[in-house]
Amino acid sequence: MSTSEIDQLIQLLSKLPGLGSRSARRATLYLIKHRESLLMPLGDAMAAVSENVKTCEICGNLDTVSPCGLCANATRDQKTICVVEDVSDLWALERAGVFSGQYHVLGGNLSALDGVGPEDLTVEPLMQRASQEGVTEIIIALNATVDGQTTAHYLTDRLSEYSLTISHLAHGVPVGGELDYLDDGTLATALKSRRPLS
């Protein structure tokens, strides 16, 4: 049906989230038909990202520079740190355009079932950032899953030793919902109506 290189492309694309082998075949054919305008620029973009991607040493965001573009942006509010589970949540909040402070990517949630403890997450770097002069508020924007809420309580406990306002995302986040799946308006409401805990 096709040569091995094309088969390999289909195989690789079929491993992407949300794509099965049928979608991967369609995408491959589409790319080949748009060789100049899509396939070649896509190849270049993938090579460039693969070569240059870095995890930000401050917040954990993915960028081609570290510190990332958000951490290096002096016009952003330095007093507020928003804690998210994953880079996808950070990108969702940025896409919604409602937050102009700093971020902290935790790298997951605590989970007794999966054996994830505080040492597996960026909890200590968060404590260090929280203790820095000038930081006044930590927004815990973890997903409304059981693990997310367990983690939120743990962090609230740990952060209580600092004189900070600790707030959680308010209503608007459905139970079991993940931030990345929320529409921008819902996310904006959840952030604006966040509740201080201390």
- Considering only CA atoms, which of 112, 141, 111, 145 is closest in space to residue 126? 141
Q: Give min distance, CB of 94 to Zn ion, in A.
A: 11
Q: Give min distance, CB of 22 to Zn ion, in A.
A: 38
CB nearer Zn ion, residue 58 or residue 197: 58
Q: Give min distance, CB of 57 to Zn ion, in A.
A: 8
Length of the chain: 198
Q: Give min distance, CB of 185 to Zn ion, in A.
A: 26
Tokens of 112: 């007794």
* 27, 31, 32, 36 alpha-carbon torsion, rounded to 10°: 180
CB nearer Zn ion, residue 124 or residue 161: 124
Start-end of H helices in the chain:
4-13, 21-33, 40-52, 87-96, 123-130, 146-159, 184-192
CB nearer Zn ion, residue 28 or residue 61: 61
Question: Using CB under 5 A as the criterion, which residues of the chain lie in contact with Zn ion when the complex forms?
Answer: 56, 58-59, 61, 68, 71
CB nearer Zn ion, residue 31 or residue 139: 139
